[in-house]
């Protein structure tokens, strides 16, 4: 049944209408707490068992279950608790007493490895049919594709089950995709979207906790009541934020994807995904939290090529890690990549969004069903033009559209001698990604761990590993050189002069607002704006306008919240020309010349020369701070290894010449000892 379609009523009504206890297996403790509290408010006796409860509370519930006629009608538990032998024994006693009337498994897609939220503990629920053969089993989910349905039936050992399936269509939700690469600033666009909706209840999903915090802070500064919600916050603060949102004291909740499962708020009007989800099932479930009251609502997905690269990298990296563990783990990773490819097609396709969603769940419908309730059907020409712009800007144009996701491990490609960057992951972009989830050292860690796993017992084995690394380095630099010849940026991705001028104006306005907020700033505002824009340009010139725009927007946000001292420190630390001419000029003291003096190494004459050099302004050539400082060249991996080998040979020969080895020392001592013994014999 679709999200918000009334699945909970399918086991709550039998609990009220029939005698006995309904056992409900639920994946989340927060979900159980929410539903039990709602049932108790309606006068229905319900309880839940979890690790968060006190020992006294759990003991009281068990005493009630052991009583002659328990008053509990619904008992919520986790799949982990069902897997415990002691609790299964208690369920068997209830079954033998005829007190179990129904077993309901909520979020049943968690049973299947094909599901988007697979949990191994759900697999152990197959023991329910064996221990409790006469109890009806009800499995419920909102996101069961045909493969998931078959897997659930097989895993639960269901015999000839009755399958009731409603349409997955949510006709009251308008589906829309917005392209980050074509927006001046995605933060501003989202803020304008929420403002235009006029204080409606909304959820914004983000991939990272840091984005949740940053985006929520930006919305608050722009007059939108918002709060971040993720696992990085303590439980007390999360509960307070959730209460504020449920009671409408907070308009927008910016959260990670775990938020909202089972949350019973029907008037959510907008659900935004600020990053592309991992699968169509997850996207459908999260976007389906909008409009549960059947009133018009919106689902807006912000799609960026960099988000796609990042998610594809995360999934592929997980696939490479699992490929060596077992074939089942590798198969699971391939399923994740296949599921992600459906989301990419949803974003990059020009066809009806609604039809594509329903097709992924095995439901074939005509395009006329949509009735212009998605952006592709309402504005087909506009969507086609945006996709064409995106193709040119992303440099992934192909005769039949965008490149598909290639489900192939990098290990296989390496063995074939084709170590190349995928179309989703450009090595030149690595430094631009957030260090929280993707770091430059990820590949290095994998190489080191793989070398550690393989036992190297001989020098030949070590040389073989070095040769592999050398070959990988040569191929990398060869491919990097080819990319430089082909051109690193397309015209659409390049940072134009028009964009640079617009960014300078944005930064100038931000500086003026900061001056109004903080008072008189002793700065040349125009020169400061030029400096800040150039700083953004230097950092992301080679990457393109997407990261350049993000850096400009981040600088604008920084100016809106920084103190007087922070702004002056950043600007004055990098340039002396930004200080306003109205300020008194202060001549900086001359930089001291620091002489490293090691006792016993320098002669008196050398020290005198150093003293003369210290006081001579003409003999010392000082480089200006703005000049380019030549750094020593970093050796390649091959040069580094060869250098270390030479040093090792020289070191070993030098040591052997100065100090005899242990064997030589032993022979010397033995000879000395024998000589002493012989001498003593002669004396005797």
Mean pLDDT for back-to-back runs of 10 residues, the chain (684 residues): 82 92 88 88 93 89 91 93 90 92 90 70 85 91 82 87 88 96 94 92 93 94 93 84 90 84 80 94 90 93 92 77 55 77 92 92 84 93 92 58 42 36 32 30 36 43 59 60 49 76 87 83 83 85 78 86 82 56 41 40 44 40 46 66 69 48 48 53 47
Of 171, 189, 217, 225, the C-alpha closest to 303 is: 189
pLDDT number for residue 576: 46
CA 127, 131, 133, 135 dihedral sign is negative
Q: Which of 510, 513, 515, 610 minimizes the C-alpha distance to 553?
A: 510
Q: How many CB atoms lie within 10 A of CB 292?
A: 21
Rounded to whole angstroms, how far apart are CA atoms 637 and 618? 42
On average, the pLDDT of the chain sits at 75
Domains in the chain (CATH in brackets) are: 9-155 (3.40.50.300), 173-394 (3.40.50.300), 410-486 (no CATH), 497-574 (no CATH), 637-683 (no CATH)
Residue 668: its pLDDT value, please?
Answer: 46
CA 620/CA 612 separation, integer angstroms: 11
Residue 463: its pLDDT value, please? 59
- Give me the sign of the Cα torsion angle 433, 390, 476, 315: positive
Contact assessment for residue 201 and residue 268, using Cβ atoms and an 8 Å cutoff:
yes
Calculate the CA dihedral of residues 538, 542, 546, 550 and round it to 10 degrees.
-30
Distance in angstroms (rounded) separating the CA atoms of residues 226 and 549: 24
* Helices vs. strands in the chain: H and E counts, helices first: 27, 11
The DSSP bridge pattern shows strands 226-229 and 74-77 to be unpaired
Pairing status of strand 173-179 against strand 74-77: unpaired
What is the reported pLDDT for 126? 84
Residue 150 is predicted with a pLDDT of 87
Annotate 60-113 with DSSP letters as a single string: HHHHHHHSSS---SEEEE-HHHHTSHHHHHHHHHHHHTT-EEEEEESSGGGGST
- The phi and psi torsions of 104 (rounded to 5 degrees) equal -110, 125
pTM: 0.55
Provide the edge-to-edge strand list for the sheet that holds 270-273: 173-179, 297-303, 270-273, 202-205, 252-255, 226-229
């Amino acid at each position: 049944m679709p999200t918000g379609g009334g699945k909970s009523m399918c086991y709550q009504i039998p609990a009220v209408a029939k005698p006995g206890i309904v056992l409900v297996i639920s994946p989340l403790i927060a979900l159980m707490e929410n539903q039990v509290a709602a049932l108790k408010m309606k006068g229905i006796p319900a309880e839940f068992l979890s690790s968060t409860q006190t020992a006294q509370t759990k003991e009281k519930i068990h005493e009630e279950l052991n009583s002659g006629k328990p008053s509990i009608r619904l008992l919520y538990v986790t799949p982990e608790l069902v897997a415990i032998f002691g609790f299964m024994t208690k369920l068997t006693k209830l079954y033998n007493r005829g007190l179990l009337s129904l077993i309901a498994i909520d979020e049943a897609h968690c049973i299947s490895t094909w599901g988007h939220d697979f949990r191994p503990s759900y697999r152990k629920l197959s023991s329910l049919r064996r221990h409790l053969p006469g109890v009806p089993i009800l499995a419920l989910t909102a996101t069961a594709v045909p493969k998931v349905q078959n897997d659930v039936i097989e895993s639960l050992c269901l015999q000839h089950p009755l399958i009731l399936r409603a349409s997955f269509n949510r006709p009251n939700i308008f589906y829309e995709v917005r392209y980050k690469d074509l927006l001046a600033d995605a933060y501003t666009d989202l803020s304008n979207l929420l403002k235009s909706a006029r204080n409606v209840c909304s959820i914004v999903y983000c991939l990272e906790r840091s984005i949740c915090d940053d985006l929520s802070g930006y919305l608050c500064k722009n007059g939108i009541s918002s709060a971040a919600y993720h696992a990085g916050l303590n439980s007390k603060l999360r509960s307070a934020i959730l209460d504020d949102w449920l009671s409408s004291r907070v308009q927008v909740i910016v959260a990670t994807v775990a938020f909202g499962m089972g949350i019973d708020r029907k008037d959510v009007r907008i659900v935004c995904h600020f990053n592309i989800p991992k699968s169509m099932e997850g996207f459908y479930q999260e976007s389906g939290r909008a409009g549960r009251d059947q009133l018009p609502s919106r689902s807006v997905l912000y799609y960026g090529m960099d988000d796609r690269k990042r998610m594809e990298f995360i999934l592929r990296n997980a696939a490479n890690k699992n490929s060596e563990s077992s074939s089942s783990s590798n198969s699971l990773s391939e399923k994740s990549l296949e599921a992600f490819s459906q989301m990419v097609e949803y974003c990059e396709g020009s066809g009806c969004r609604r039809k594509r969603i329903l097709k992924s769940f095995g439901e074939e419908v005509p395009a006329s069903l949509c009735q212009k309730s998605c952006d592709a059907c309402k504005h087909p020409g506009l969507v086609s033009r945006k996709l064409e712009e995106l193709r040119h800007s992303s440099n992934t144009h192909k005769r039949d559209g965008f490149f598909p996701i290639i489900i192939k491990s990098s290990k296989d490609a390496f063995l074939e001698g084709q170590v190349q960057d995928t179309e989703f992951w450009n090595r030149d972009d690595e430094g631009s990604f957030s260090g929280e989830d993707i770091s430059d050292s990820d590949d290095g860690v994998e190489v080191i761990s793989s070398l550690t796993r393989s036992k190297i017992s001989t020098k030949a084995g070590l040389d073989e590993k070095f040769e592999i690394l050398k070959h990988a380095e040569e191929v990398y630099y060869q491919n990097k050189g080819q990319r430089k010849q082909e051109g690193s940026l397309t015209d659409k991705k390049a940072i134009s002069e028009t964009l640079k001028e617009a960014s300078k104006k944005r930064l100038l306005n931000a500086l003026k607002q900061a001056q109004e907020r903080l008072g008189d700033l002793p700065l040349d505002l125009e020169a400061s704006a030029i400096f800040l824009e150039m700083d953004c340009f230097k950092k992301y010139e080679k990457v393109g306008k997407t990261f350049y725009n993000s850096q400009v927007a981040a600088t604008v946000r920084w100016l809106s919240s920084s103190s007087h001292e922070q702004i002056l420190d950043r600007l004055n630390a990098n340039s002396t020309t930004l200080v306003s001419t109205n300020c008194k000029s202060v001549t900086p003291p001359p930089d001291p010349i620091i002489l490293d003096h090691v006792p016993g190494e320098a002669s008196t004459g050398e020290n005198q020369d150093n003293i003369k050099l210290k006081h001579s302004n003409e003999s010392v050539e000082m480089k200006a701070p703005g000049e380019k400082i030549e750094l020593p060249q970093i050796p390649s991996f091959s040069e580094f290894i060869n250098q270390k080998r030479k040093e090792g040979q020289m070191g070993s020969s030098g040591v052997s010449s100065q100090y005899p080895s242990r064997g030589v020392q032993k022979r010397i001592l033995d000879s000395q000892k024998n000589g002493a013994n012989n001498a003593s014999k002669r004396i005797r």
